[in-house]
Amino acid sequence: MRKRLTDFRKELVDLLDGRGLPLNVKEIHESAGDSDLSTVYRALEYLESQGMVRSIFVPCSCDRSKYYYSAGKHLHFLHCERCHSFYPVPCAGMKKMEKKILDDYRFSVTEHVLLFMGRCEKCRAES
């Protein structure tokens, strides 16, 4: 038997897809019906292994847990260190960089993590 993409797991993908922003496990758990936390962890692990979701660790004082987001479109995020909002930005210029890494270091990139920390427009105005 080889079947893993259960309804619940699809639901998680839809959830992340719908939000379009990274959510941590707690938020996912709360938004995903009344399932067990370990089920959520197992689901996310599976989905990530299938390349359906991605995760990042955000080095911000607000939260030291992992954030998951849909891998549907390859996005990066801006994270405001003041209001802790995420802003998606398209992934651009990375292919070229990965090509250069292959040429220069003979290292073949399968994945990259890129996150920007800083201040969003609103917070820059307010402080």
Residue 105 sits in the site that holds a second copy (CB under 8 A)? yes
If DSSP codes are grouped into helix, strand and coil, which group holds residue 15? helix
Which residue, 11 or 24, has its beta carbon nearer to a second copy?
A: 24
Distance between CA atoms of residues 70 and 21, nearest Å: 8
Residue 2 sits in the site that holds a second copy (CB under 8 A)? no
- N- to C-terminal Cα distance for the chain? 57
- The distance from CA 6 to its chain's CA centroid, rounded to whole angstroms, is 21
Residue 45 sits in the site that holds DNA (CB under 7 A)? yes
Three-point CA angle 68, 72, 77, nearest 5°: 50
Residue 91 sits in the site that holds a second copy (CB under 8 A)? no
112 contacts: CB under 8 Å, gap ≥ 6: 94, 98
Stretch that binds a second copy, among 4-12, 16-24, 28-36, 119-127 (CB under 8 A): 119-127
Which residue, 12 or 67, has its beta carbon nearer to a second copy?
A: 67
Stretch that binds DNA, among 33-41, 70-78, 81-89, 99-107 (CB under 7 A): 33-41
Residue 73 sits in the site that holds DNA (CB under 7 A)? no
62 with 22: CB under 8 angstroms? no
Residues that bind DNA (CB under 7 A): 1-4, 6-9, 24-26, 34-39, 41-43, 45-46, 64-66
